[in-house]
Structure formats: C-alpha cells, structure tokens
Structure 1
Amino acid sequence: MTRLISFTKRHYPLLLSFWLPFLIMGGYFAARQMFPFGHSSLLTVDLGQQYIDFFAFYRDTLLHHPSQVLYSFSKAIGGDMLGVWAYYLFSPFNLLLLLTPGKSLTAGIMLVTLMKYGCAGLSFAWLLKKTDTARDLYLPAFATSYALMGWMVANQLNLIWLDAVVFLPLIILMIERLFHGASYLGYSLMLAAMLIINYYMSYMICLFLVAYILWALARHFESWRQTCGVFLKFAIGSLLGAAAAAVVLLPTLYSLTQSKGQYTVTKIHWKFEYAPIKMISKFVVGAFNFDQMPTGFPNLFVGSLVLCGFLLYFGIRTIPWRERIAAALVTGFLGLSLCYEPLDLLWHGMQFPIWYPYRFSFVVSFWLVWLAAIGLKNLTKLHIPSAIVLVVLLGAGIVYVWINVKNFTYLTQNAIELTLLFSVIAVVLLLFKDSTSPLLPWTILLLVAVEMGTNAILSLNQISYVTQSDYADYTADLVKAVDKTKQHTTTTDFYRLEKTFMRTKNDSMEAGYNSASHFSSTFESRIPNFMGEIGQPAGDGFIAYSNGTLFTDAFLGIKYYLARNDNWVESAARTSNPLLPALTDKPDLSYYNQIDHTKQVTIYKNPYALNLGFAASDQILKAQTNTSYPTVYQSNVMNALTGSQRYSSLFLPQLFATVNYNNVKQRKAPLTQTYRKIDKGKAGTITYTFTPQTNDPYYLSIGSNLNSKAVSFSVNGKAVTQYDTFRDTVLIDLAAAEKGKPVTVTITLNQDEVWLKDFQLYHFDTPTFSRGIRQLQASQWQLTKNKNIHLSGHINITKKHQVMMTTIPATAGWHATVDQKPVKFKRALDTFIAIPLSKGSHTVSLSYWPPYLTMGLIITGATLSVDGLYAYYRYRKRQARKHLF
C-alpha cells in the first residue's frame, strides 16, 4: 500500500491524464444506460453495421480458426483477409474483446473505447512530460483536451481509427528525441507499429510528419550540420519503419489495387469546397449532429484553453521568430487542407471518403493542442494588450457564428452562449497565469474537464444507438439457427448459407458461416460487379444477397436457407419483441426441403445446390456477352456450364393479364414506360394481374431507379420487402407453387413521374433448370480437406473439353495442383477459378497464400535484423564509453 501511495504521488498528473477522459466518458455512457449499465449500447452507424461483426470474427479467428487471418469464405463468396485485418482488426486493444464473448461483446467494445480515450490522454501527457512542455496539473489539462477533442468524440463510432490518436503523440516524442541525440530506432519502430495497426490512418500521420519535421527543424535549429543529421535520421527511420511493416503493407497494397485502388479520383477540381470561415463554427461546444457524418465540416473542437494558448503562441516573443513563421506555414497548409479539394483528396489517398469527411483533422487538433501547450509554457504573464487582442479574436469568431447560427444546423444559441462563457473563464484564468495560488491549476483543470465533457454530451446526444436487446437477441437467435444447421453437416462439407432476414451484411462473420453477402471498405470490386450482373443489390464495397433465384442459389452453392418462422414473427409483433429484420420475400423456398427449425427460424436445404467445384463444359471459359439483364446473363451462364448446343432460356417473358391505372397516365411517346400522376396531391397506383399456369417460380425484374423513393411494390396486398440500395437490375421473387391462383402486383408511385425501367414479368423454366443442374451435379468435387486456405478433394471427369468449375474467386493468391502436380488455373466469368482437366479421376488441391506476403516477411525480417544489429552496436559502444571513464 505504501508503494502504491508513493507511486500515485509521483505520477498523479499522468494517472489523471488517463483516468479523467476514461471516467468522463464512462460516466456519460453509464448515464445513457449503455450496456453493461443499461438497455442501450454504443452501436451506431458503422460500429453497429460493420465493426462489431468484424470484432466477433476477430474472436472466432484467434480462438478457433487462425487461418482466417489470411482468407475467409465468410467474406461474401470468399476473399483475402489480410487487407481487412490491416484496416479493421490489428489494434492491440482488440485483445480485450477476448474477455467478452457473445452478447457481451458490446461491453467489450465499451471497454476498448474507454481504454482508447484514456490512453490517448496518457500518451499526450507522456509527450508533454518527456519534452518538459507542461508540468503538474497542466499535463492532465492538455491531455484531456486532446483525448476528448471534437474529432475523437465524433468518431468514437469509428473505433478502428482511434489508435492513431493514441500513437501520434508517441511518434512525435520519438521525433523530438532525434534532436537530443537519440537514434532512429525508437521513431522507426513506433512508426512501424502504427503502420501495422492501421495503414489508412498511418498514411495521414505520415503526411503530417513531413510538415512536422520541417517545423521541428526550424524550432531546434542550431547549425546546418545538426539539421542535416537529424533530417537524415528522420528519413532513414521513416524508410526503415515502412520496411519493418512490409509484412502487412505489401499484401495490403496489393489488396487495395483489387478494391479501393480502383476507385481513385483521376479528375481534380481546383476549388474550395466551402467558405473557409465556416470552420469557425466547429470550435463551438457541441458542434456536431448526425448530418455531419455523411457531409459536414471538419471536427476541430479542442476547448477554449487550447484555443487561447494556440492564438497566444504566435505572439510570444520568447519563442524564436523562425519557429513561429514555420508554425504559421504548417498551420496554413493544414487549414487549406481542410477546405481545398486537391489537398483534401491528397489526405484521403485520392479518394473522396464515403461519409465521415475530413478524417485527417485529428492531426490538426493535435497541432492545435501541441502549439497551445508550447505557447502557455512560454507565457509567463498575459499582459493586457495581448488579452485585448485575444478577446477581440475570440469575440469576432463567436459573433460571426451567432449571426449565422441559422446556417449551422448542428448549433444552438445555448451552445454559443456556453462557448462564450467558457472562453471568458479561460481568458480570466490566463490573466492570473503568474499566480502562485495552488487553486489556479485545479481551476484550469476543472474548466477543461467541464468544457470537454459538455462538448461530448451535447455532441453524442444527437446520435441514436442500437438497443442491447436488438443486437444480443438477434445474435443469439442467429447463432442458434446456424448451430442447428451445422448439425446436418460434416467437417468436410462446404456450403454457403443465406437468410430471408438480416441485421447487417456481415452477419456471416458474426455467426461463423459462409455466405454471399458482405460489407467492408477493402472489398475486391470484381465480386460486387459479378453479383450485380446476376441481379443482386451490390455497390462499391458491399453485397446484399437478397434477390437470389433458383439458379443463382444453386450455382453459388447456397445449400441452406434460414427463413423467419411466420407464426413466431406474428407472435413477436403482438408482444412488441424484437423481430428478425426482414430482408427479402422468397416464395421459391417452396422448392427447398424443410429440414429443421428453431423457435424463430425455419431451416431449408437446397436440393439443387452445387458443390464448391463441379465438372462443366469448357465453354464457360469463353467471355460471356455483357448484358444489363440478369435473366439473360443467368441463362448464358447455365448454357455455358452445360455446354448446351441449343440455347435454352431459364426465364421466359410473360405478359400481365390486366393492368389498371388509378390517378396515373402513361406518357404519350412510342415505346415509353414512363408514368405520371394526374393529380399530384393524390396517390397514384398501377395494378397488374396474372394467373400462374404452373407451379414454377415467377420473377419480376425492376431497374436500378425503382427504389423506395420512386415506387412501392405490393403483391396481393402485402408490401414487398426489397433491399433498397441497388445499382443494377434486380429480380423480385413474386410467386412459386401458386398454379391457378391470381396474383396482383400493385405499384404505388412515390414521385410525380416514374420510369418503369426494365419492368418485366418472367416465368422460370424449372424443367430446363432441373435437367441442367442434374447434369452438373453428376460429377462434383468431393472435398477431403476443407480449410480456409487449403482445399483438396476428388473429382471424376467423364467427358472431353471439361473444366472443374469452382465458385472460388480467382485471385493471385490461389495455387492449384492436380494429382500433386502444379497447374495454372483459368478465370471463368472474369471471376471464378476454373481448372481444365482430362477425362478420368483426379485429386485437385487449392491452397492460398496472400500475394507479396513472402516478400513482406523477408523485408520485415531483414529490417528488424538490421535494427537489432544497430541496437547491439550502440549498446556495445555505450558500454565501451563507460569503461573508458
């Protein structure tokens, strides 16, 4: 106990720097009843729609399936995972998630979030302490301003980015030490660690370091020899830091060329994105709401004390003029980056961010707090003239925001009044900067804690969150159904599973199964492109497999389907229990076999599902005709797989029997399908009817413009459930096993005028489909080894000119052997692996190793060896000096 008390006395500023941000945010979370303190959770936007599923996948990988670090079939129909880990999962804080399984994962996320808040404050305080920039209670004051800055609060839902805020002060500390005789090693290794943890945020840090070193060289200038020596250490450390991280960077860079790298902006507009003066509004307390997430101004709030210190920095004469000029240039560059499009693009890797604009503004906030700390260290007394200038600058900003408050929807007059109050208090306290009263530092710390806490409360109160039950109950129900399905399989079975309900597109990663849906920022573009061609909602970075047909389900090996139990859904609706959110209507499940159920879910087995590999005609290797019609594309694929000499269409166009218009008329133009309301103030509907002549499925194609903003669909009076974001023509499953029963399709116009693009009814030719599938099922790849990165099995080829067609995405990391001899595979449908085989029985194996991982391992190993030898050399040199003296 004595040692603990002694430790606390000696290090209480550092301890406060950690615990103050931790407890402020922890208190807020508890007050908002975030789990485990209540019924709510931290899940919102991407944290609830992406990251939590990746965190569940993280636990499953580390505890059960380590090969998923390299590859996983839970990522849509299969994909490289190193890029996903490098962007989402390499944070050392994630190890805490191993303590919180299942529905308690949300508590783990809260713990990780609070730890990152606390460690951000601690790391900044450590920088201040080791550079002697601040002492005593000024350490936690500046640390709290940094840890609870506006960027941090606004982006706490982007939990994967927060490590950058923790590591940036430590990297800066390593740079500062270069000026005091330290070697490049500390800087290099710290930079390497950040590059491995999150390459995306590290890229922004690296850009900032280029500007920072130029300012630091001016600040610490003694001679040109010293300047060149430090810059050389910085350059060497930067290069070797990147080299030490090559084991992650090289495979990730290759992965990016297949995903985000294909969306790089090539046309730059040399313009301001908004009037720069509007940035002033973001220094007001609580300057954030939901609308600032998709589009908004940079988050810059750092508190009144920091703002005062930053402004005073440039007027303090004891700070060398060259340092202040260099700081002004860096500040100008950073400020321009926040509003000038070419620089904004540069910071984001030449890609406009989708949501969360100005993601790099955390380095600007660091710069503000760092200069403020330096400024107040050099401020012995705030003289009246300086105070007047400070008041004028702060007052002008507040007046501007007050006058234009209606233009800033994320601000209120009360928030501006609070900002004025905090600013006045900060200026008054700085007037007594030379006071020896012990109350002054405590008062300054209290001001910072209250102001930064107020900003967090006002900002986060604007956001809604997923309830704990919505996440936990859904996850429990899904895992129960998936586990029930697995009871019908063996360890060598490969299958994909899909559902008629969905919480997120990464449900498969949450519950540990193979699927066809996915959402991530590192998604290979080829897979969404293919899915769009077969009629699935897809886009840059996502697939929602909601519009499967009998053919696409069979081709992609979707062997099992989970469907909501209608009786349970009705019962849950009556008792207001959370439901399994509906994704799609799927009448063609009547062609599948019910094999099991839970209380909430019915489990179906698809008798048409093909194995992961099967014998097919080599015609599939020929390029398929590009078409915007998924019905044509699916038929083309089926004919190519079977090698049919006579083309057969799986989808037969059919006319509706009747059509009735209510307050709608068709535009008088030849061959037009554009309809407009007669009376814009009333509802407009178009009603189509037809009577199926067979029990075959019937599908309706709709164009990419027919989302819920344009129209609403209903079948026999029941609203059609359709995933709302799609850029290609999709197929709606209208009816199956409904022979002789009239079907009514009603379209309600949600706009005054609508173009019914690609609106067509199709009758699915089940006999033709069944014959083709039986042919393909006759010779399939029977797996004997089923691992994420190693697949092996037997297949019997009975005809000439055949290939083993797979539904494994063809990427450079896959390597094939046939009868233990290496072979080169071919790309079918510009997407999948296909291996030409001769007649007879063969053993085919596929193994995966990420491209450039070997090279990365070699470079990383060599770099760390050089670092180790250099560290040993410096150690021996220091020992030799000790012996001399």
Structure 2
Amino acid sequence: MTSRGRRTDGSMIKREAEDRHGEKSYFGHPLAETPRKGRYALVLLGICAVAFAGVTLTLVMTGRSLVWDTDGRLLYFPFMVAEGEWLRDIAASLLAGDLAIPLYSFDIGFGADWLITASGNSNEPINLLAALCPPEASEWLYDTLVFLRFYLAALTFSFYCFSRGRGKGATLVGALCYVLCGYVLFWGVLRHPNFIDFSMLLPLVFMGADKLFVGKNPLLLIVSMAGIFVYSIYFAYMTCLFLLAYCLITYFAYPRERSVGDFALLAGEFALCLLAAFALVGFSTIPMFITLTSMGRVGIVRDIAFFQTADFYESFVSVLLGNHEAQNASVLGAVPVIAILALFVARGSMHERERRAWGCGIALCLIGALVAKVGSVFNGFGYPTDRWEVIFGFCAAYAVVLLVPAIPRFSALQWRRLTALVAVVAVWALAYAFKEGTLLGFATVVMFAGIYGALALWAFFRRRAAGSSPSLPRVLTERCLRALLILAVVANATVHVGLFMSPLGSSYYKEFIRAGHVWGTREQLDLSSVLDQLDDTYRINRTDTTYGRNGSFVHGYKGFDFYSSFYNQAADDFRQSMGLSDDVKSTMFDGTRQRAALDYVLGAKYYISSTEAADSIPDGYVKIADLGEAHNGLSYELYETDRALPLAFTYDSVVTQQDYEELDLVQRQELLTRALVLAVDKAEGTAPQFDTKREQLGVVEAEGAAVQNGRIVVTKKNASVTFSLNGRAGCETYLCFEGLRFRSMPVSDAERLADEPQLAYATNPSFTPTKTCWVTVSDGVRESSFEIATSASPKYAGKEDWAVNLGVGDDPVTSITVTFGGVGVYEFSELYGATQSVEVIRENVEHLQEGNDATVAFGSNAMAVSVEAADSTVAGENRDKSRYVFVSVPYSRGWSATMDGKPVEILKANVGFMAVEVDGESHELRFSYVTPGLDLGLACTGIAVVLLSVFELGWVRRRRTMANQRGISEKEPIR
C-alpha cells in the first residue's frame, strides 16, 4: 500500500498515535487518550440495557414478546428456529460420517431453495447461536439476540469514534443516540431485528475506509463489507452509495496533496477492496445476485413522485424530534437534533474541518429525506423507502459526539443563535402538534424544549460559576454534562416510544405476540398426529393461508403457502398467468384459492380448513379428521380427495406456451388437465376444445360508480356495480379482470370524470393518492376479496390479472356484485365472467390418473421418479411412444436430471414447473439440486481467501521490515 495523506503544505500527516501526547490524527483533531475498552464496554452494556428496557417497557408491562406478529412470526422466528435445526442436522450427519447439507426444501411454497429463501431472514452470524438453543426456548433466544444486536451496534459505533480520537464520554452519548434512532428502533428492534446488523456493520466499514485513506491495512474494510454482502446484497448496495459520499467528503474536506493520479489510485483501491469483499463471500453473494436479478419485481417501472407529500413536510420536524406515529426512520430524538443545529453555529468551538465535513454529510441526508426520489435510488430504483436513513442516524449521532466537548466552549453569541434555531424547530413541531391534536405530538415539543432548556441552564450557570470561582461545583463539570445528556437521550426515547406503543398512542404493542406463546403461535395448529399418516407424494392446501404463511415449512409438509423476499420467479410466473387472486405481492403465495383444476394438477390431495371456511373447499373433498383449535381461536378440519394427481405424473399430449397464453385465465387451468404446456416454439398437438364457457356481463346496477368503455369510475368509497350473467349449474363461477389498474383521485375529479367521460384527467398535485385498494366480489352467497396496488405502492409487482373464484353452487350464478374500496378510476383491458364444469375437470383428471405411470420419492436435494412402461398391444411400440413426466416442483437452473444414469434435459413446463421427455419404456429418473451459482461462488471464495492470505502475510512482513529499519536508524549515532 502506498503512502498517501499529505498536508497541503507538503509535510506528512502522522498516521499512527504511538504515544498520543498532543498528536493529531489524519482528520486534524487531537487524539484523546486510548480509553480502557473493557471497562467502557461494560459501562455501555449497562446503559444500553437500561435504554433497551425503556423502549420495550410497554411490551414488558403488557406481557408481550419482541416477536412482531407480521414478519417476526411468519419470517424471522421460524427461519431462526429452522436454521438451528438445519445446523444440528448437518453436524449430526458429519459425526455419522456421511456429511449432508440440505440446500432445497420441498416444504417451502411449491418447493424452494433453502439458502436463497432464508436470505435476509436467518443468514447472519448471530443466528448461528440458534444451533445451541433447544427449539422450545427459541422465543427467549430471539428476544436476547435483539438486545445483543442493539448493544453491538452501539459498540461498533463507539469503536469508530475511538478510531477518530474521540473521548469515551462523548462517544457514549453518541452511541446511545445511534441505537435509539428511528431506523434501529422501528426498522430493527420493533420490526426486523436482523436489520440492526446493517447498523452494526456500517461503522466498521467507515473505520476501514479511514484506514485505507492513510495507507493502513484494508482488511477491516474488506471483512466488514463482506459481512454486509453475506447479510444482504440489498443493504450492500446501499452501503456502496454511502461509502461513495463518505469518501468524497473525506477526500476534499481534510488536508491532503490532491491530484488526479492520487484520486484515481485511491478510487481503484476502494474498488478493489469492494471486489475482494464480494468475492470473499462469493458462496453467498453470487447465488443471491443470480436470484435477485431473476425476480420480476426488481427493476419494474414505477410511478415515483420527485417530492414528498405536503403532510410529510408538515410533520418532518416533529418526526425528527421523536414523533414515532409515522414509524419513520427519520426519527432522531431531541439531543441529535440539537447537535445538528449546533453544527451551524459552532464555528470556533468545534474542530472546523470536522464540523464542515459532518455538516455536509447531514445536509445530504436532509436533502435525501426531503426528496422522495432519493428513497427510490437507494431502493434499487424501486419504490421509495426510508431504510437508507440509517446513515442519517449515524451522522446525527456523530454530531452529538462533536457537540459534547464543544458545549463548554460556546460563546454567548453562539448560544443566542442556537436558541433561535431551536425556537424555529419547536414552533414548526408545535404547529404540527396542534394540527394533529395528538398527545405524542405535544409530548415531542415539551421534551425537546425541556432538554434544551436543561442544557442551556447548565451552560449558563457554568459560565457564571467559572467567572467567579476557579473551581467548578461538581454539578457543573463536563462529566455531569455527559450524565445529563445520557439521561435525556434515554428518557426521550422511553417517553416517545412508550406513548406511541401504549393505548395513549397507537396501541402498537398489540402487534406483538404474547410472551410465552410464540412457539405455539409459530405452529398455529398441532398436526403431529396426522402428518405421518398422510401420503407425502401429495400436497396439503389450506383455505385460509394468510394467517399461516410458511405453515407448510414450519410443520414439514408439502404445500403452497410461501412468504419470503427471495422467491422463484418461475413459480410467480405461474401464479400471475393464472390470475390467482391471492396476494398482490410476488413475495407471498396463498395457495390456489380453491380452484379445483389447479388443486388436482398440483397434487393437493388434502385440505386444511377452519370450520368457518369449509364451504369454500373445492368439490370432491371429504372430511377425514378434526384437527382441534388453533392459536387464532378457530377450529380446523382435515379433508381428502381421490382426484388429485401426485407431484409426478405423465402427460401424453403437449401444447406450446404461446397457445396457452392465447387462452383466457380460466381456460388455461382446464388446459392443464388435458395437456402439458411447454415453453417451446413448436409442439405436437394443438389446444383442445374447451368446456369452460366465457360469460358476457351486463350492468344491472351501479351505485356510486359509472361503468364506461374499458374502465369503471368510482365516485365514493365502497361503491358497487352489479353485473348479470347466464351462469351454469355444477360449475365454478369466476369474475375475471385482465390488465386491471387503479388510479386514485379526489372525489370531485372522479365525479366530473363520471359525468363527462371524454375529459382528460390531469394529476392534482395537492392530492395524496391512495396506493392500494381492496376489491370484493360476491354472488350473494359467497364472496372473495383481493387487493390491487398502484405502481407507486411498495406492494406493486406488476400483477394486473385477477380471476376471482366464487366456488360451486347448486344453482347457476346469475348476478355478481363488485365493491370497490377506493375512489378513482379502475381501468381494465378485459372484464368477463367464466363458468367451468366441475364434472368435466374430474373426467379430465381421471384420464390423467388412468394413464399415469410415474411414482416419486423425495430425498435430500433430490427426487427419484420411476416411470413404468406405457400400455401397448403392439410389440416394440413403446419405444416410439412419446410421453412427458411432469413434476410440480418449480423450474430452476439448479436442477439437473438423469434418465437411467444418463443426463437428460429438463424442460420448463406448465409455465413454472419441470418435465422430462421419455418414450414408452420404463425408466428411472433422478433429479438433483445445487443452488445456482454456488459452485462458482465457492470457487471465488476459495481464490479470495488464498489471495487475501498472501496479501496479509506480505503486509505483515513489510511492516516488520519497516519497523526493523526504523529501529536500526534510531540506534545509529548522529553525525
């Protein structure tokens, strides 16, 4: 590593604090004495424990755990438990002398890669502790790990401050501000605990960057960035943007002999370090990158406003001060806001280059927070998000570290200027509090004014005491100031979070599972007595999966329900091609919505249903067991049918996917009961004649809505339109929207558009549009709802086709009422009804069952399919008989197959699944799975480890050589 970092006058800047007596760091300020880190860490641990207890006090008092009932119960907790079981199984196989590493689970959704699906949920070093914890005690481990992350984030921030020569008192205050900011609290502690890992690693990345600036060992930068890459490609992308801004500010704000060559060399070294970090954990990054770029929702075109809404700007200061009602990452707290304001008036009281550098960083954060488009850029140009504002909390916390030693040096003029800025902020926040009329809004202003008043009084009396006596009273010492600030920071967060979570605020505490009940809630329903008796070559479907997403994974059966940020795009393509009205997100699968044809083809031999939803189970299922009461208070039952096909069976005829896509949403599922759909240009066979009938709709009544050409204009919330259709008895009845898009608008604009459809609609800039809306479809007996999202919504994933199944009735359905939950325009390319005969579907499936000659067995990362010879009366005819073995496991590049020991091509079939072509003879097929990119990733990791080891050995030798040379030089006599 070359030596760089020279002063503008040409003299070298000291790079290491060898004796720390008055020496200056690269950043130009005096280095404080090295704190006793062991003692500091213990003190920090105690204070963090008090702060953590304060912000979780409401949960403790109401008997709640830290497991959030949404992502905590459905994602983080079950995946943490599963990782513990996964690690224990690997260890057991190793001890048995037969190492097996499960990469694929047939129980996640339709089947999914375990490593990919767990990304962002459990793939972090801290969760490795789950391997040492009995599953029944996992709730307590979960809560403990939340605090451990909280504390480690404060500790790494402290290390960063120490590396820049900051004292332990100021650092302690700043560390508390850092872990009590909105990102750590509401994106981390109270929602997604693993998000805290990002705030824990970020200070280490910046420490590593500082080292690289002065020619020190880049290992810390490489390893900390590698940690973020392992944790999340998404957050690694954010970190690279943060690092770019950090390096530019550092390069130009601090003294250095700058030149084009120096800049280019430094940029190259940073790029090389990032590349090394990516390669070092290639076993994780490369498979994650391959999956991320394959997901359809990534890079989707969205409607993103450049600026935030008017309400956002009105509430901005109140949120900064601690108004958590918005659950916003912009929350900083009173002390950090005072520190930010102080940067503008503290010239001469703080180190000037530090003040300017961090003032510049905070200015960028403020601009980013005020411009909605920035949130989109940090989110990979997707929907705007405030997750990136962890950097805002980081900069504000460091501003506090700068403020603490500067306060005693403030002049009277500086105090007056600071007081004026504080007054402006207080008035802004007070105006919003009066507008909203909430207790938390007023408490925010009172706490802010009280903390600033206490700080100003301390400074006032200290100045008076200093002028009259050489020795200050103990209450006016700087140590007392630090204690006052620590108390203020903890009290500020405790009051604000407590008010927000309590019944006096939003009652947010109700969104957390009761302590001691998490394990049972994870399972929802005890299935241990029945699962062993069921045939595992079939699937289990559920009528109400929204409460038990990932339930199949938890219980260990093959199902349909799925929830994770990383998913198989082929499975989502299948869902969207069918117009499944389950969930608008690509990250959530909720089964088949009781569509009989899909249940039979995808192997749903069994159904779990609450007694309340039993009427929605498809025709042909009979009750075989009572399952008892679940944790949601509902009683459940188990049903079975003899119509379902196993997860592997044979088709005799095929059609192309192009033919499939020309059909409507309901005809497509009938086609799957007759022929295999292949993603090829040509296939032997054509689409058959369909019994499914498309029904024309007539408008019977429209209340609060106007049906126009290609759209429905809704002028009041929950308006309805009733359609007529002919209908057929013994059929599933569907209402289908294709190309459905929703555009929210003010009532007055909607009324004008309803009266004058020829008018062109112009966006109203003062209107805050609704981003999602529910649509409910009912035939008077049964109803079904689905949610649609605009392209500005975080939920939007391009899903615009919906086939709503109203089930089977004894009488034909002749009337359908659609209720629209939001005011605006609902545009569509097609709107129609459809009826599909249950008897015809049954006959089609029975034909497939009669000709089915395949059996399937599942193993670790593999499945074996035995195909029997097709029936034939002519000798030798079997050899030329073409068939296709269909396996309803999602298609993935990770799968490979052999037939009778020889490689065979896997075809993408039925949009999202797999098939292999065989002749009429008997065959043994074996499907094997390896995570796509894992082999390349492991090779990259191995090469990176070797190269980095060689570099580190060379670095150590070079340092020793330089040290020896310095020692010899010092011993030589002066001539």
Alignment of 1:449-460 (within 5 A): 449-460=490-501
* Cross-structure match for 1:389: 417
Are the equivalent residues in 2 in contact too, given 1:813–1:849 (CA < 8 A)?
yes
* Cross-structure match for 1:439: 480
Matching of residue 786 in structure 1 with residue 867 in structure 2: no
Compute the displacement of 1:648 (Å). Answer: 4.5
* Cross-structure match for 1:150: 182
* Counterparts in 2 of 1:160 and 1:509: CA distance versus 1, 3 Å: farther
- Corresponding residue to 1:734 among 778, 788, 807: 807
Compute the displacement of 1:177 (Å). Answer: 3.2
* Cross-structure match for 1:18: 45
Are the equivalent residues in 2 in contact too, given 1:804–1:834 (CA < 8 A)?
yes
Q: Which letter does structure 1 place at the counterpart of 2:186?
A: A
Compute the displacement of 1:149 (Å). Answer: 1.0
* Cross-structure match for 1:211: 245
* Counterparts in 2 of 1:162 and 1:682: CA distance versus 1, 3 Å: closer
* Cross-structure match for 1:287: 323
SS at match of 2:897: strand
* Cross-structure match for 1:514: 558
Compute the displacement of 1:43 (Å). Answer: 1.4
Are the equivalent residues in 1 in contact too, given 2:106–2:558 (CA < 8 A)?
yes
Are the equivalent residues in 1 in contact too, given 2:156–2:203 (CA < 8 A)?
yes
* Cross-structure match for 2:842: 769
* Cross-structure match for 2:119: 86
Are the equivalent residues in 1 in contact too, given 2:694–2:834 (CA < 8 A)?
yes
Compute the displacement of 1:762 (Å). Answer: 2.5
Matching of residue 563 in structure 1 with residue 609 in structure 2: yes
Question: TM-score, normalising length from structure 1?
Answer: 0.83
Compute the displacement of 1:387 (Å). Answer: 1.0
* Cross-structure match for 1:196: 230
* Counterparts in 2 of 1:30 and 1:105: CA distance versus 1, 3 Å: farther
For residues 811 and 681 of structure 1, what CA distance do their matches in structure 2 show?
Answer: 43
Q: Which letter does structure 1 place at the counterpart of 2:486?
A: L
* Cross-structure match for 1:814: 895
Q: Which letter does structure 2 place at the counterpart of 1:347?
A: F
Q: Which letter does structure 1 place at the counterpart of 2:931?
A: P
- Corresponding residue to 1:236 among 272, 281, 300: 272
Q: Which letter does structure 2 place at the counterpart of 1:485?
A: V
* Counterparts in 2 of 1:391 and 1:734: CA distance versus 1, 3 Å: same
* Cross-structure match for 2:23: none
Are the equivalent residues in 1 in contact too, given 2:444–2:496 (CA < 8 A)?
no
Compute the displacement of 1:653 (Å). Answer: 6.3
* Cross-structure match for 1:586: 616
Unaligned runs of 5+ residues in structure 2 are 1-34, 92-99, 467-475, 630-635, 678-683, 743-771, 789-798, 871-877, 968-975
- Corresponding residue to 2:202 among 168, 171, 177: 168
Matching of residue 860 in structure 1 with residue 941 in structure 2: yes
* Cross-structure match for 2:375: 344
SS at match of 2:915: strand
* Cross-structure match for 1:4: none
Compute the displacement of 1:366 (Å). Answer: 0.3
For residues 595 and 498 of structure 1, what CA distance do their matches in structure 2 show?
Answer: 15
> Residues 219-248 of structure 1: CA distance to partner in whole angstroms, max 9, x if unpaired?
553444996676654443222112212221
Number of residue pairs matched? 833
Are the equivalent residues in 2 in contact too, given 1:810–1:831 (CA < 8 A)?
yes
> Residues 371-428 of structure 1: CA distance to partner in whole angstroms, max 9, x if unpaired?
3313444565121111111111111111122234456687522321222112222344
Compute the displacement of 1:650 (Å). Answer: 4.9
Matching of residue 524 in structure 1 with residue 568 in structure 2: yes
* Counterparts in 2 of 1:605 and 1:65: CA distance versus 1, 3 Å: farther
Compute the displacement of 1:830 (Å). Answer: 3.2
For residues 665 and 318 of structure 1, what CA distance do their matches in structure 2 show?
Answer: 65
- Corresponding residue to 1:185 among 203, 216, 219: 219
* Cross-structure match for 2:681: none
Taking every aligned residue pair, what percent have the same amino acid on both sides? 17
> Residues 477-532 of structure 1: CA distance to partner in whole angstroms, max 9, x if unpaired?
52x22x23321246xx4332111233143222332322222222222344233223
Alignment of 1:397-796 (within 5 A): 397-405=425-433, 412-429=441-458, 432=462, 436=477, 438-461=479-502, 462=506, 463=508, 464-468=510-514, 473-478=520-525, 480-481=526-527, 483-489=528-534, 493-502=536-545, 503-537=547-581, 538-539=583-584, 540-564=586-610, 566=611, 585-588=615-618, 591-600=620-629, 601-626=636-661, 629-641=664-676, 647-652=688-693, 696=730, 698-703=732-737, 709-711=774-776, 713=778, 716=781, 720=783, 722=785, 727-735=800-808, 738=810, 747=817, 758=831, 760=833, 762=835, 764-767=837-840, 769-776=842-849, 778-787=851-860, 789-796=861-868
Shifted more, 846-855 versus 859-868: the winner is 846-855
Are the equivalent residues in 2 in contact too, given 1:494–1:786 (CA < 8 A)?
no
Compute the displacement of 1:287 (Å). Answer: 1.4
Compute the displacement of 1:446 (Å). Answer: 1.6
For residues 576 and 855 of structure 2, what CA distance do their matches in structure 1 show?
Answer: 29
* Counterparts in 2 of 1:426 and 1:199: CA distance versus 1, 3 Å: farther
Alignment of 1:801-880 (within 5 A): 801-879=882-960
Matching of residue 61 in structure 1 with residue 86 in structure 2: yes
SS at match of 2:594: coil
Shifted more, 305-314 versus 538-547: the winner is 305-314
Q: Which letter does structure 1 place at the counterpart of 2:443?
A: N
* Cross-structure match for 1:572: none
> Residues 692-739 of structure 1: CA distance to partner in whole angstroms, max 9, x if unpaired?
86xx454343548799955463655xx646565684333435336x5x
Matching of residue 52 in structure 1 with residue 77 in structure 2: yes
* Counterparts in 2 of 1:681 and 1:544: CA distance versus 1, 3 Å: closer
SS at match of 1:860: helix
* Counterparts in 2 of 1:768 and 1:451: CA distance versus 1, 3 Å: closer
> Residues 646-692 of structure 1: CA distance to partner in whole angstroms, max 9, x if unpaired?
93435356899xx99899799899x9998999xx9999896999998
For residues 195 and 314 of structure 1, what CA distance do their matches in structure 2 show?
Answer: 39
> Residues 545-600 of structure 1: CA distance to partner in whole angstroms, max 9, x if unpaired?
25232211111112221122x3xx7xxxxxxxxxxxx5x742435x1244433334
Q: Which letter does structure 1 place at the counterpart of 2:602?
A: L
SS at match of 2:625: strand
Question: TM-score, normalising length from structure 2?
Answer: 0.76
Shifted more, 844-853 versus 596-605: the winner is 596-605
Are the equivalent residues in 1 in contact too, given 2:722–2:818 (CA < 8 A)?
yes
Compute the displacement of 1:144 (Å). Answer: 0.9
- Corresponding residue to 1:315 among 346, 362, 365: 346
SS at match of 1:815: strand
> Residues 611-652 of structure 1: CA distance to partner in whole angstroms, max 9, x if unpaired?
222211351445333257432111222232499889343535
SS at match of 2:911: coil
Shifted more, 211-220 versus 9-18: the winner is 9-18
* Cross-structure match for 1:29: 56
Q: Which letter does structure 2 place at the counterpart of 1:204?
A: M
For residues 90 and 853 of structure 2, what CA distance do their matches in structure 1 show?
Answer: 26
* Cross-structure match for 2:32: none
Q: Which letter does structure 1 place at the counterpart of 2:530?
A: T
Are the equivalent residues in 2 in contact too, given 1:161–1:201 (CA < 8 A)?
no
For residues 179 and 934 of structure 2, what CA distance do their matches in structure 1 show?
Answer: 35
- Corresponding residue to 1:365 among 388, 393, 402: 393
| TM-align CA RMSD | 4.2
Q: Which letter does structure 2 place at the counterpart of 1:146?
A: Y
Are the equivalent residues in 2 in contact too, given 1:313–1:374 (CA < 8 A)?
no
Are the equivalent residues in 1 in contact too, given 2:655–2:686 (CA < 8 A)?
no
SS at match of 1:129: helix
Q: Which letter does structure 1 place at the counterpart of 2:334?
A: G
For residues 146 and 950 of structure 2, what CA distance do their matches in structure 1 show?
Answer: 38
